Amino acid sequence: MSTQISVPRIDASAVLRRVRGRYLSPVASLLLFVVLFVAVVTRYDFASTSQVFLNLLVDNSYLIVLAVGMTFVILTGGIDLSVGAVVALSTVIVATALRSGWPAPLAMAAALVVGPLLGLAMGLIVEYFEVQPFIVTLAGMFLARGLCYVISVNTLPIKDPLMRALGLNYVYLYEDKFIRWTVVIAVVVVLVAVYVLHQTRFGRTVYAVGGNRQSAQLMGLRAARARVSVYAISGFCASLAGILLAVQKLSGYSLNGVGLELDAIAAAVIGGVLLSGGVGYVLGSVIGVLVLGTIQLFVTTANLDSYWTRIMTGALLLVFVLVQRLVVRRPR
């Protein structure tokens, strides 16, 4: 007696429709990263391709954390221009506190408080005073950058053993392939963000607010709380990114992070996050960071002038914005 095994049928057309919809930009970004990365490592014949990839994570761990926070804000239809200045402020606070004799955990905790407080204040103004996020966060950027100059205008070296251990010690994965502790922290942040956005009521509220705030309120969701909270989350990620940058550079400087908010926005957009809100994924933003990192790798390896990084980033950003526009116009 023969038994028949039923094989589930895959609706190829349904899968294709989903890819053409909200998954189009992340998939395109992933393909772009693979093509760019393979082209670079093939062209310049690096000794270890896997270590080159791991180095991308090491060099851009702080930007990954920053892009995660920016993703939360953009998903609600907002924007946060203050994050680059908050990164600089965090590096200066940590370095100044360490020079004053504070233990490293307390210095890092002080920096981690500043970002969320500023983000909370900006979120409250955006929500309850109905001021455009662009204006509010621009004011926050000026405030944070000005506080950097008030504290110190000079480079402040970091000599604390714990900070140096975080910045210099290797974490070996297999054989001689390694990352640093900053990458471990960035990966934890990404995993937590993915869980919050896709497995919690708060995450569903964030997507709902970005899609249609009035509908979210009619469904009984706490839209106001979510809209304020995402700015606090972005501020926390900016402070943490500042600590990671301070660990990487082992210094604090008031001019750190200039233009970094634009890199975070570009990474999110290239990764498929719609600026109008409601559509996007944290992992897409991570892919966007890797794309930007690969461009920087190419420019550095080819000994090109640094402005080519901005030119290529701008061109890619324009292409992905146009792709997103076509996706939004596509009838569903």
CATH number at residue 166: 1.10.3470
CB contact set of 304 (below 8 Å; sequence gap of 6+): 298
Range of the domain at 114: 48-327
The H or E element spanning position 174 is: strand 170-174
Q: Are 81 and 134 in contact (CB under 8 A)?
A: yes
Q: What is the mean pLDDT of each run of 10 residues along the chain (332 residues)?
A: 46 49 79 92 87 95 97 96 97 96 96 97 95 96 96 93 92 89 96 96 94 82 93 98 96 94 94 90 95 92 86 85 66 44
Is 225 part of any domain? yes
Chain centre to alpha carbon of residue 279: 16
Is 20 part of any domain? no
Is 230 part of any domain? yes
Q: Are 208 and 221 in contact (CB under 8 A)?
A: yes
pLDDT of residue 2: 45
Is 297 part of any domain? yes
Per-residue b or e along 300-329, where b marks 16 or more CB atoms closer than 10 Å to that residue's CB: eeeeeeeeebeebbeebbeebeebbeebee
pLDDT of residue 249: 94
Q: How many domains does the chain have?
A: 1
Determine how many CB atoms are found less than 10 A away from the CB of residue 12: 8
pTM: 0.91
Q: Are 81 and 140 in contact (CB under 8 A)?
A: yes
pLDDT of residue 51: 93
Give, in order, the Cα–Cα distances in Å from 149 to each of 112, 185, 257, 259, 318: 19, 28, 14, 17, 34
Is 10 part of any domain? no
Is 27 part of any domain? no
pLDDT of residue 7: 41
Is 152 part of any domain? yes
Amino acid residing at 238: A
Both structure tokens of 233? 């989350």
CA gap 321, 298 in Å, rounded? 23
CA gap 286, 268 in Å, rounded? 8
pLDDT of residue 273: 92
Is 95 part of any domain? yes
